[in-house]
Amino acid sequence: MINPLIYFLLFLKASLFSTGGFSNLPSLHQDLLANAWAKEADFGQSIAIGQISPGPNGLWVISLGYLTYGYLGAFLALIAITFPALLVLVISAGYTRIEHRVWVRGAMHGVSLAVVGLLLTVVWTILYTWNMEQLRHGSTGALGVDWKGMLIAGCAFGLALSRKVNILIILGLAGLAGYLLYR
Amino acid sequence: MELQDPRPSKWQLFRIWASVGLQSFGGGASTTFLIQRAFIEKHKWLSMEEFTQLWNLCILTPGINLIALTVLIGRKLGGAWGIAISLAGLLLPSAAITCLLAAGFKTVENLPAVQAILRGVVPATGGIMLLVGLNFALPLIRRGYKEGALYLLASSVLIIACALAVILLKLSVIVVVLGAAFLGALFFSSKSAPPLLGKEQGEQQ
């Protein structure tokens, strides 16, 4: 059973300790799975829905809220991503005083590096556990690696890297590939 | 500071932010572009320099940078009311659509065809996330090149250590971020860091 207050606080914590739309993902991933309040598949699906729908890409959290806890979850997620942004008012008042201290820049650099490492863990988990899920469906006999899924992930990466293909088209092609390969 | 257009009415401000939110598909780059077009080019309520200064404050703010930017622009154009109206305009319509899409998905998720489609889409989101990570890494690696091999090595080690700490040691993400901030303050502070007012950072998120 989901405790709404703790659920909200987990979203708020993830948002408070993140920078940018996706960097709250590792924290939510860890906490919601630990409480069994989300399934692994919810994350991939929320990101896909977030990419298809309009708005800043941080709004993927709203579909995560909906998929795990209905309209209340979506609402709590919206509040949790909005509130930390108001801290910019505090920061705009105080930052000019400390921006020239070297340790501030050093710490910011450390946080940026951590964000990269944490995003890599999410990529790893999405690919790894998604394939494990396929194993449970009994579709392959091999150990956890489905080459078709890896191929799709690689193609999506390449197409996104080229910056010539819209994200919506990439996801559409991936869905078509999934339909043809796994039907 | 020359403002060519009169301050927007509340309703006009709401409409502009709603149209920014509803038109921005594919994430932050298009949202940033739409904000610049509406507030700088079309209505001339902001100059590009002001926009860059506001953006740099947003990079330092926790959470989604674009929402922080919305707060700052809203305050400039309408005080506390401006903040509330701008946030509502950007977030409510697009959040409602996101929610409806998720609800629609929930009703069809058990169809075999939908399951098959998802088996294609989910790995693709993994690939796209990898690119998001690399986009974050690129300015850091560039800076590493400028600062020398040791700096670059230390940066790479910290990235990998953070990833392994979560995957293998199952450390809490918050602990990892705070630890990285501490290590950064210790090891990266002695270098002559570039000012944060870099324009390329505006491309992120």
If asked whether residues B37 and B118 sit together in one domain, one would say no
If asked whether residues B133 and B148 sit together in one domain, one would say yes
Cβ distance of B61 and A91 shorter than 8 Å: yes
pTM for the full model? Answer: 0.74
The tokens 């509330």 sit on which residue? Answer: B84
Total tally of structural domains belonging to chain B: 2
If asked whether residues B183 and B135 sit together in one domain, one would say yes
Q: Which residue type sits at B123? A: P
If asked whether residues B14 and B102 sit together in one domain, one would say yes
If asked whether residues B103 and B131 sit together in one domain, one would say no
Residue-level pLDDT, tens digit, chain A, 183 residues: 899 999 999 999 999 887 667 778 888 999 999 999 998 888 888 988 887 788 887 899 999 999 999 999 999 999 999 999 999 999 888 866 776 777 877 887 888 888 888 888 878 877 776 555 554 554 443 333 478 888 999 999 999 888 787 777 888 899 999 899 888
User: Which range among A132-141, B33-42, B128-137 has the greatest average pLDDT?
Assistant: B33-42
If asked whether residues B46 and B133 sit together in one domain, one would say no
Residues 6+ apart with CB under 8 A from A104: A98, B185
pLDDT of residue A166: 75
Candidates B65, B121, B159, partner chain A, best to mutate (most A CBs within 10 A): B121
Task: Provide the domain limits for residue B86.
Answer: 10-108
In a domain, B2, yes or no: no
pLDDT of residue B198: 41
pLDDT of residue B204: 39
Question: Does residue A33 sit at the B interface (CB-CB below 8 Å)?
Answer: no
In a domain, B144, yes or no: yes
pLDDT of residue B199: 37
pLDDT of residue B26: 58
Nearest-CA distance A36 → chain B (Å): 16
Residue B64 contacts residue A16 (beta carbons within 8 Å): no
pLDDT of residue A167: 75
Which H or E element spans position B113?
Answer: helix B112-147
SS3 string of chain A?
A: CCCHHHHHHHHHHHHHCCECCCCCHHHHHHHHHHCCCCCHHHHHHHHHHHHHCCCCHHHHHHHHHHHHHHHHHHHHHHHHHHHHHHHHHHHHHHHHHHCCCHHHHHHHHHHHHHHHHHHHHHHHHHHHHHHHHHHHCCCCCCCCCCHHHHHHHHHHHHHHHHCCCCHHHHHHHHHHHHHHHHC
DSSP output for B52-105:
HHHHHHHHHSSB-HHHHHHHHHHHHHHHHHHHHHHHHHHHHHHHHHHHHHHHHH
Q: pLDDT band at residue B195, thresholds of 50, 70 and 90?
A: very low
In a domain, B1, yes or no: no
Contact list, A13 vs chain B (CB under 8 Å): 174
If asked whether residues B99 and B144 sit together in one domain, one would say no
Nearest by CB: A15 against B63, B136, B167: B63
If asked whether residues B153 and B71 sit together in one domain, one would say no
If asked whether residues B134 and B91 sit together in one domain, one would say no
Tokens encoding B122: 């989910």
Q: pLDDT band at residue B201, thresholds of 50, 70 and 90?
A: very low
Which of B74, B108, B142 is a domain's end point?
B108
Which of B51, B86, B108 is a domain's end point?
B108
CA B198, B153, B189, A104 torsion-angle sign: positive
pLDDT of residue A33: 92
If asked whether residues B127 and B103 sit together in one domain, one would say no
Which of B84, B108, B132 is a domain's end point?
B108
Nearest by CB: B62 against A84, A122, A123: A84
Residue with more model confidence, B56 or A11? A11
If asked whether residues B91 and B121 sit together in one domain, one would say no
If asked whether residues B118 and B140 sit together in one domain, one would say yes
